[in-house]
Structure 1
Amino acid sequence: MKTVKEMSQLSGISVRTLHYYDEIDLLKPSQVAENGYRYYDHEAIERLQEILLFRELEFPLKTIKKIVDSPSYDRKVALTKQIALLEAKKAHLEGVLAHARRLQEGGDTMTFTAYDKSQLQALETEAKERWGDTQAYQTFEAKTDKEAFAQVTDEMLAIMAEFGRLKDLDVVDDKVQAQVKLLQDYISEHFYPCSPEILAGLGKMYATDNRFSQTIDQAGGAGTADFVSRAIERYCL
């Protein structure tokens, strides 16, 4: 068992940060003594390793928590993907470093290809979708195949009803876009991490899948499902 100070020294993470991870339930101490001292076992150390790898890949703490807490999370699979991403970042940085050295030696100052992150960003997007969104979204889809959308949550229907009250506005209106953000946050909190990609997919489904469109229109009035779909499309631009 490691004390919080020993964990800090071992990992390079400040004691204050470890306390914060405890507060947000990202990394709980394995044991808290009567005097309030925190202690961490081997499993907690492994979890911190996972957290720090995701942080190196610039994942938000909220997303990391949802990923590592997911019942479908596979540590070995995640590590393999993390290594692939880190190798891609390394290759990108090595390219930038080599370019900087060429500039130092009087190389072509009109060449900027070394800064192109498109391939790295595509890989990061794919990884984030696979870890944080896709599997959870498929789980939700499986659930809604068995249950009518109206039975999922009364609160979701209330959100749709509010869209119905707003549908005379343009989808670019701040009130409409704020309602889309409310919907996205609600899905993330209650179902699965709702990335812009997942949200865009849901928007299309709301307009084309009768299981959703009929229920949404019942909640907000005729045309609400199409309005929500268009509002989401605008939000995700």
Structure 2
Amino acid sequence: MPDATDADGLTVGQISARLGVTVRALHHWDEIGLARPSLRTASGYRLYTAGDLERLHRIVVYRELGLGLDRIRAVLDDSTADVPAALRAQRSQIAERVAHLRQLSAGLDRMIEAHERGLLLTVEQQAAVFGPRWDPDWPAQARRRYGNTTQWLQYAEGSAARGPEEWQAVADAVSELDRALGDAMDAGVTPGSPEADRLVERHRDVFASYFPLTRQMQVCLGRRFEADPEFAAHYDGIRTGLATWFRRIVDASARAHGIDPDTATWE
């Protein structure tokens, strides 16, 4: 490598500032033979000529387009390389990445909206899925009441992935469970019986559509269904006394799993 004075070329620091690449990257490209400075000073410092700078410009451009260093070397050094074909291939890869990023962006928008609204259905869709008695303001009320809880986050993340068909499946599962609970109470199913315990497990499975429900949480929920006027009205509207009966079968199942319903907490 010829010796030169400082006036004959640009230093590594000057090239770094001009091209916006790190000194470390320039040293690496020198070490692997991708872009070596043509000159050195008597003191051994690298100096880049105008020709070196032109090559570095091309490396920076190709790197920003996403080409790997080996591919860049081939494009620059192989006289038989089909540069347009290489760039077209890279353009196709970039187009795929752009499409993927757009999908991610749309998913993030839905996730943000789900965290803020809870239910990503129009008022008309909500009425069609949940019935005419559904109040479209309920999700907003739930957000104000439970928005800082882990369960709301779990519910929102599930909601972001659901459209009308998925919510219809959830609503159908809830309705079928409600009918099964009413039929079981009419049939005289007793708390602690195998059939009652199966219904308790089925309730936990159905409720997992909203968020995972532990047995202790289920006990707390059963008590709320009985004590809260709105919940009690829903269950007692299916069968008189169903809210209390449901609480009793949940309590019995909890005892069978070593949980004292009187001390159960939301955890």
TM-score bracket for this pair, using the shorter chain length: 0.3 to 0.5
Using CA pairs below 8 Å that are at least 6 residues apart, which structure has the higher relative contact order?
1
Larger Rg: 2
TM-score, normalising length: structure 1: 0.37
